[in-house]
Amino acid sequence: MRMKWIWLAALFGLSLSLSCQRKEQSRDPGAAQRLKIVTTVAPITSIVENVAGDKAGVSGIIPEGVNSHTFEPAPSDSRLLSGAQLMILNGLDLETPTLKLAQANLPQGASIYSLGEKTITEAEYIYDFSFPKEQGHPNPHLWLNPAYAMRYATLVRDELIRLDPKNKSAYEQNTAQFVKKLETLDQATKDAIQTIPANNRRLLTYHDSWPYFVRRYGFQVIGAVQPSDFADPSPKEVIRLIEQIRKEKVPAVFGSEVFPSPVLEQIAREGKSRYIDKLRDDELPGKPGDPQHSYIGMMIENMTIMFEALGGSAEALKKVDPTPVAGSHADYRRKN
Ligand SMILES: [Zn+2]
């Protein structure tokens, strides 16, 4: 009788410890051994999250909703950097202060991987009103072109495999699935653009994020209002833009969530055009964990707003699933 109780107690103890172990594993599968990656703006974090799934830790430093072009990381971000093995950034001079902090604080042997310079050649860089050639900083918004986002994803995949070969097959699978989704997005964009009257396929924006998008889809950027120092445009420039909008009968002009612009609003009013201030180039819609809180979700939202305002339909984009291919695992920061 007594033996039986001892056995039962032992079995109970064993199953208790097994179930504790299981809980521990499901909460954090091998967190200590996982590759730790620091990223910068949210669309890049989302692309890396799609490739990494739960096999690597991914933390974005630049909060959603700030001006990423002038963002200065806090000295306390050095702690996050000092525990990372890899930093992935857009490059093309977008995140210079964050890059400097990374260079000073990443541990020895850690890598810095800049995507933009590996995606297009210098001859393909775009310089324009907000990013003039004489200042030497090309327009960095490559990710708004889904073909470049595909390239970003495959570059990230190869770098993750190089540093963490044991998860090679997961990185390959995730990337293949993600690129397939991006191809669907690309085709849906082409289909949706066909519904916009040809004469309306023109963009006037406040923040100058769209030239690489336009390069792919045959739109025309008729202007970006924001000067290179992120101040307001000169009165002369404002008058020129109003006249252009009136003459060309542009149906809508676009501001962005991050840069509220009374000046663009005035330009739209006087040019008798609609003013829409909802575009985003590095702030994802919804909140972390929502299906639309992703790079693809951001593109769908932008294009829906744009295409409908220009007299087209965004119906084709509804079939694109924005959810990250291997779930939401990255740490995103939000502007407080
Ligand atoms: Zn931007």
pLDDT at residue 222 in the model: 84
Residue 212 Cα to ligand 1 middle (Å): 12
Tell which residue, 291, 300, 295, has the closest CA to residue 319.
Answer: 300
Span 240-256, average pLDDT: 90
Q: Distance, CA 140 to ligand 1 centroid (Å)?
A: 8
Instruction: Identify the residue with better confidence: 248 or 161.
Output: 161
Mean confidence (pLDDT) of the chain:
90
Between the CA of 18 and the centroid of ligand 1 the distance, in Å, is: 50
pLDDT of residue 4: 55
**Selection from 30-34, 47-51, 239-243, 275-279 with the highest mean pLDDT:** 47-51
234 vs 225, 241, 276, CA distance in Å? 10, 11, 21
Q: Is the distance from CB of 171 to CB of 51 less than 8 angstroms? A: yes
Segment 78-83 mean pLDDT? 96
Pick from 60, 65, 23: which is nearest to 40 by CA? 60
CA of 283 to the centre of ligand 1 (A): 10
Q: Which tens digits make up the pLDDT trace of 31-61?
A: 778 999 999 999 999 999 999 999 999 999 9
pLDDT at 160: 98
What confidence category does residue 16 fall into, taking pLDDT thresholds of 50, 70 and 90?
very low
Counting residues of the chain whose pLDDT is more than 70, the rounded percentage is: 91
* Residue 325 in this model has a pLDDT that exceeds 60: yes
How far is ligand 1, taken at its centre, from the CA of residue 104, in Å?
25
pLDDT-based confidence at residue 266 (cuts at 50, 70, 90): very high
